[in-house]
Amino acid sequence: MSTTSDTQHDPRVALVTGASGGIGAASVERLAADGLAVAVHYAGNRDRAEQLVGTVRDRGGTALAVGADVADETEVAAMFDEVERELGGVDVVVHSAGSMRLSRVVDLDLDEFDRMHRTNLRGTFVVAREAARRVRRGGAVIAFSSSVVKLALPTYGAYAATKGGVDALVMVLARELRGRDITVNAVAPGPTATPLFLEGKPQEVVDRLAAQPPLERLGEPADIAEAVAFLAGPARWVNGQVLYVNGGIA
């Protein structure tokens, strides 16, 4: 059997979805700092993706902006084609693209639920399926779950339901890739200071959530990117797991 060192490519190539801001952007910067060439995915904001590509290149790294609707299998396949053509292959896929709308279950507009489901669960499935076809031996697939799956916070029911599906997918796909030397895991952040989390929340709510972890602060995107880098590189014996990265909130 080949060892991990036998199957490394130079440079390794990472594709990061939802990479134009927040945790995705922090993950791009961290992986690039670790020496990976990075494909920076965007759905609607090409300018921010291109700015991030410029930042990586200014620091001596290799980066490429790629666009796709993560829930559209044709667009996702074309995105992987472009990454393979321009960067030589795919070793790491980080799927951080996501959507969150908060509401009590009894009040939620089902159109809102469908939109979250399309991005968070179908999108994860489509990207993971393509990753399973493309990622080279010795690689890693990293999806994004959420700590709210086990925290069971009111108004997060629909969002947590989509992320619970991600947990199940990761565990199954890890087993289906037996013999490929590819790890499949999910990162489950807690409250993290991103626009997605902060939008629409009164300051008192933010302060209350920030006080809950023993470390008494919100996570920062860079905190989550540390876990992504761990799973993308040295964590070859971590597989089929959901890694909670939440400062000890639960």
Query: Residue 124 CA to chain centroid, in angstroms?
Result: 9
Give the other-Cβ count within 10 Å of 6's Cβ.
Answer: 10
Task: Please answer whether residues 52 and 63 qualify as being in contact, where contact means their C-beta atoms are separated by less than 8 angstroms.
Answer: yes
DSSP state at residue 147: T
Task: Please list, in sequence order, all residues whose beta carbon lies within 8 angstroms of the beta carbon of residue 217, skipping any fewer than 6 positions away.
Answer: 210, 247
Whether the Cβ atoms of residue 177 and residue 199 lie closer than 8 Å to each other: no
Q: Which of 42, 156, 159, 244 is catalytic?
A: 159
Going from the C-alpha of 160 to that of each of 27, 82, 221, 249, the distances in angstroms are: 22, 32, 20, 16
**Spatial distance between the Cα atoms of 51 and 33, rounded to a whole number of angstroms:** 16
Tell me whether residue 159 is one of the annotated catalytic residues: yes
Active site residues: 159
